[in-house]
Structure 1
Amino acid sequence: MSNTIMILAWAGAVLWPVVIAFGMWRGLKTGRGPGLASWLAIFLITTLWGLGLRAFLIEPEGLIVRRVEVVSRFWQGAPLRVGVITDIHGGGPHMSVTRLERIVDEMNGERPDIVLLLGDFVAGHAPSQDRSASENAEVTAILPPLGELRAPLGVWSVLGNHDWWYDGAAIEAGLQGL
């Protein structure tokens, strides 16, 4: 996650109670306490700030592992364990190489028979030629950890819309080189 987002989140979390306390102190000093409108504004801003913290700091850091049993009359073989990773969005604020390495380790720990990578390896909408060298380096650095995925029936991938917006041929070449 970018340091700027983290600093803003912590600054808001620390300063918001100070702003509320100052407003209440000032209201009491002038002889007027906070009215209903003030309490509603405080509640609304606090709720929106809390939802924003969850949406931008907590939820993106989560990893969801679901175990689902699928029964099909068309499959008569032994049960298959299918691992799926999707929407990595490398080069974005929530996906570092270290985090992806942890995800790969967890996936390997599940011992899947086959792994499916369902695209959107790249964050954002800008093509590679419109990005800085450091942004392009972040994108290409996200691919090598995927080469550590292990499955007896292989690791298979498709590209997503973000990958094509970036440079589908480059992402495909990077994946084939793993």
Structure 2
Amino acid sequence: MKLAKFVILPAALFTVLVLWAFWLEPASLRNETHKVQIPSWPAECNGVRIAVLADLHTGSPFNGISKLEKIVLLTLSAKPDLVLLIGDYVIHGVRGGHFIPPEASARLLARLAAPMGVYAVLGNHDWWF
């Protein structure tokens, strides 16, 4: 009983957390919709759909060019009014990943379009190139 309580249970919990953190979560792709109500928001802006893409880290495990293409297609299918790209498009030197030139990611992200525009900023991982 003591062995299970002090060794086996923590080891099993640790294994589950590692699997989630390094395999399940990075491999997942979610499209989440949130309705935000801002009291001072102009009435003519009600219903504006904004797509926010962040921390794509293309080249990290589970995040190759094919996944980035799925993300772009999923974003376009949502028909957003505005697209915000908020950095960390690439990754460099990560275990289990592979280098993907920033130009390859940029070609896919350039397909994004929205009536109010597509705006991007660089993240800390993007300054390495």
2 CA distance for matches of 1:107 and 1:149? 8
Task: Name which of 35, 43, 55 aligns with 1:68.
Answer: 35
Is the CA contact 1:89–1:122 (under 8 Å) kept in the aligned structure 2?
A: yes
Retained in 2: the 8 A contact 1:60–1:94? Answer: yes
Q: Distance in 1 between matches of 2:107 and 2:69?
A: 9
TM-score normalised to structure 1 length: 0.61
Cα RMSD of the aligned pairs, angstroms, is: 2.2
Distance 1:73 1:38, change over 3 A: closer
Give the letter aligned to residue 107 of structure 1: T
Matched, 1:36 2:12: no
Instruction: Note closer, same or farther for the CA distance 1:38–1:74 as it changes in structure 2 (3 Å cut).
Output: closer
Instruction: Give 1:139's match in structure 2, choosing from 89, 96, 101.
Output: 101
Aligned residue among 33, 51, 56 for 1:88 = 56
Q: Does the CA-based 8 Å contact 1:114-1:153 persist in structure 2?
A: yes
Q: Which residue of 2 aligns with 1:77?
A: 44
1:45 aligns with 2:5: no
Corresponding residue for residue 123 of structure 2: 160
Residue 120 of structure 1 and its aligned partner are, at CA, apart by: 0.9
Deviations 1:71-96 (A, max 9, x none): 24242424311111011112212311
User: Kindly tell me: are residues 63 and 70 of structure 1, through their superposed partners in 2, closer, same or farther at Cα, counting changes over 3 Å?
Assistant: farther
Provide the rounded CA distance (Å) in 2 between the counterparts of 1:61 and 1:67.
22
Q: Distance in 1 between matches of 2:72 and 2:45?
A: 25
Q: Comparing both chains, which one has the higher relative contact order based on Cα–Cα distances under 8 Å and sequence gaps of 6 or more?
A: 2
- Structure 1 residues 125 and 68 mapped into 2: Cα distance closer, same or farther (>3 Å)? farther
State the 1:38 CA deviation. Answer: 5.5
Q: For the pair shown, which has the larger CA radius of gyration, 1 or 2?
A: 1
Count of aligned pairs between the two proteins = 123
Q: Which residue of 2 aligns with 1:130?
A: none
The percentage of counterpart residues that share the same residue type is 33
Residues 96 and 142 of structure 1 are in contact (CA less than 8 Å); yes or no, is this contact kept in structure 2? no
Q: Counting helix residues as a fraction of each chain, which structure ranks higher?
A: 1
- Name the TM-score, length of structure 2 as normaliser: 0.81
